[in-house]
Amino acid sequence: MTASPRDILHSVFGYDTFRGQQEAIVTTVIDGGDALVLMPTGGGKSLCYQVPALAREGTAIVISPLIALMQDQVAALLQSGVRAAYLSSTLDWQQTQAIESQLLDGRLDLLYIAPERLVTQRMLDHLSRVHISLFAIDEAHCVSHWGHDFRSDYLGLSILQKQFPQVPRIALTATADPRTQADIIVRLGLEKARVFLSSFDRPNIFYRIAQKQKSLDQLEAFIRREHPGDAGIVYCLSRNKVDKTAEALCQRGFNALPYHAGLPGQVREKNQTRFLREEGLIMVATIAFGMGIDKPNVRFVAHLDLPKSMESYYQETGRAGRDGLAANAWMVYGIADVMKLKSMLDQSQADEEHRREEKRKVDAMLALCETVQCRRQLLLAHFGEDLPQPCGHCDNCIEPAPTWEATEPARLALSAVYRTGSRYGVEYLVDVLRGERSERITGNGHETLAVFGRGIDIPDKEWRSIFRQLLARGLLQPDPEGFGALHLDDSCRALLRGEATLMLRREQARTVTPRKTGGKPALDISSEDRVLWEALRSRRRQLALEQGVAPYVIFHDSTLMAILAARPRSLDEMGRLAGVGEKKLERYGEAFLDVVNEYA
C-alpha cells in the first residue's frame, strides 16, 4: 500500500536515482534497523531519513541542534508537500500547542525538535502516546567530546533507546574522525546499528592554497575574477580581523557582513538570516559561524588565516558547494600565521599532552599547505582514505609547484639561528644572511659571524619561504614566549651534519589563481545564457520573498541550471528535471515556464 522509496524520491523530491549509499540506508531504516551514517557535507544525508519518514507509518522525530537548520529543512519539506513542523524556543505558546496537537493527532510526517526539548518529561509523554516512525539524530557528533561541537544536551538522547526500543534510530554526521564515531555508537547505544561510511571526498571543490602577500588585494582579485555576485564565507582567526575585513570588503564594493561571538545575539542572528535568505552575500566570520549552515549554494570558502587543524579546514571548506556544483576552497597563509598559531598553543593553559596533540594538528595542517603533491590526496589520507591517483582538481595538480635542492641554504638558515643565539625572528635572520649592516645587527656584533652576508644571492622573499618551510617541517621551532624568535629542533641534526638533503618548494613562480582554471566563474554560464539565468533567479527571488523563505527552498541552483540547459516547453518536460517533484511542479511549473518562454 505504501509507496516504494524510489516512488517517494521521484514524486516528492523530484530525483530519479539514489546517490551513493542512500538506498541501502533508506532500506535499512524502512525495515526497522538502526543506522549510523557518516557522509560528507552535501552527500545527501537528509533524504536518508526523510524518505523512510514518508515510507513508514507514523511521525518521524528529527533531533537537530540548531533552529536555523530546522527552519530551513521544514520550509523545504513544506514546499514539497510534506507535513513537517519544528518545535523550538522561538515559537510562542499558541504555536507550540498547535504543533503538539498536530503531533498527537498523527497529522505530521516529520517533527524537528532540539535535543533539550525532546528530553523534557512533557515531550516524552507526548511521544509515548503517538506512533513514531523513526528517530533521526542529525549532527550526531555533538554527543562526543572529541567532536568540535559537543553539546551536553545530546547526552540525554540515550533515553531514546531505553524508552522506545522498537523505534529505529538513524544517527548522521559529517565528522569522519574514528574516535568520534566510536563515541557516537557508545553514547547513543547504537551497537547494533549498521554503519554506512561514505567517501569523504568532495569532488566539486577545487582546493587552492597560496602565499599571503597583500591578503585583501588577493581576496578581492579572487572574488572579482571567479565569484562575482556569488555567496561565500571568509574565515578569519580573530573578531577584530573579522570586523576589519568585512568593512574593507564593503568599501571595495562587496556585500559583506561580519559574524563572530563578540557581536550581540540579535546582530548575529540577523546577519545569519540575511546570508541564508539573500543571494550573493559574503559572510566574514570566525569559526563561530558554521555549524548548521546548510545553505547549498555557498560558492566559495576563503581562509585569510591558517585553520588550527585539518579537521577544521575540511569542515570549514566543506561548507562550499553542498549542492554539488563547482565551488572553491581558497586560502592564503604566511609565516606569521604559523608563528601565531604555535605560540598561542605554547601559551595556552592546557596540559602538556594536550598541547602536544594540538601542535601535531597544526603541523599536519602546515604539511597540507606546504605539500607539492595533490592536496586532495593528502587531505583524504589524513582521514584514512586512499585516493590512488592525483585528483586533477587542486592547484598542485593543475600547476605543479616547482621544487629545488635547498640543502645548502637550509643549513645556512639553521646556522644563522644557532649563531645568533636562538633569540631572533625571521626578519632579523634574513637581514643577517643577506648582509644588512643595520644598527641592530652591528650593535649585536653579528656582522662578524661567518654566516653574515652568505645568503646575498637569495632574495628576501625566498629566504622567508625557506624559514617557513623549515618551520612547517618542524626543523625549526618558534619561541614559546611568543616573541617570534626561532630555535633549532633536534630533528635538524641530520641536515646540519650533512647526512640529509632537503628539497623545498619554489614560491615565486606561483600565482594565486591557477592559470588553467583562472578567470572563470565557478558556475559556468555562457554569456548567451546569462540573461535567462538572471531572469530565472529573479523569479525565484520574487517567489521566495512572497513566502519569506530562502530562494533555494523554492529551487536549488542545480535545478535552475537544469532548467537553463533543458529549456522545457511544457509542464511535462519541466517535471522530468532533477529537483522538480510533483508539488513543486504544481506550484512553480507555470511561473518558470513563463520565464523560459519569454527569454528563450
371, 501 Cβ separation under 8 angstroms: no
Q: Determine how β-strand 205-211 pairs with β-strand 194-197.
A: unpaired
> In this complex, which beta carbon is closest to ligand ADP, that of residue 73 or of residue 245?
73
Q: Which stretch binds Zn ion (CB under 5 A): 60-68, 254-262, 369-377, 435-443?
A: 369-377
Beta bridge partners, 173, equal 38
CB of 272 to ligand ADP, least distance (A): 17
Task: Confirm or reject binding of residue 394 to Zn ion (CB under 5 A).
Answer: yes
Residue with cell 535499512: 28
**Interface with ligand ADP by CB under 6 A: which residues?**
15, 18-19, 22, 39, 41-47, 294, 296, 322-324, 556, 578
| Residue 208 contact partner, candidates Zn ion, ligand ADP, none, CB within 5 to 8 A by sort of partner | none
| 374: contact with Zn ion by CB under 5 A | yes
CA atoms within 13 A on the CB side of 484: 9
Q: Give ∠ CA 232-339-354 in degrees, rounded to 5.
A: 90
Minimum CB distance to ligand ADP, residue 140 (Å): 12
Window 397-426: residues binding Zn ion (CB under 5 A)? 397
Is 391 a binding residue for Zn ion by CB under 5 A? The answer is yes
Nearer to Zn ion, 77 or 394 (CB): 394
Whole-Å CA distances, 545 to 137, 197, 278, 548, 551: 31, 38, 9, 5, 8
Q: List beta partners, residue 235.
A: 285, 303
- 8 Å CB contact between 119 and 153: yes
When CB distances to ligand ADP are compared, the closest residue is 44
Which three three-digit cell numbers place residue 498?
A: 650533512
- Closer Cβ to ligand ADP, 21 or 144, answer by number: 21
C-beta separation of 256 from 282 below 8 A: yes
Residue number, 374 or 486, with CB nearest to Zn ion: 374
Q: In the block, which residue shows the cell 548567451?
A: 528
Whichever of 205 and 410 has its CB closer to ligand ADP, that residue is: 205
In Å, what is the CA distance from 114 to each residue of 66, 71, 141?
A: 7, 11, 15
CB of 338 to Zn ion, least distance (A): 23
In the complex, the smallest distance separating the C-beta of residue 19 from ligand ADP, rounded to whole angstroms, is 4
Nearer CB in complex with ligand ADP: 55/430: 55
State the binding partner of 578 from ligand ADP, Zn ion, none, CB within 5 to 8 A by kind: ligand ADP
Residue 322 binds what, of Zn ion, ligand ADP, none (CB under 5 to 8 Å, by partner type)?
ligand ADP
Provide, rounded to whole angstroms, the least separation between the CB of residue 335 and Zn ion: 24
In the block, residue with C-alpha cell 547504537:
190
* CB closer to ligand ADP, 77 vs 429: 77
The CB-of-412 to ligand ADP minimum distance in angstroms stands at 49
d(CA 141, CA 534): 39
How far is residue 584's CA from residue 416's CA, in Å, rounded to a whole number?
Answer: 68
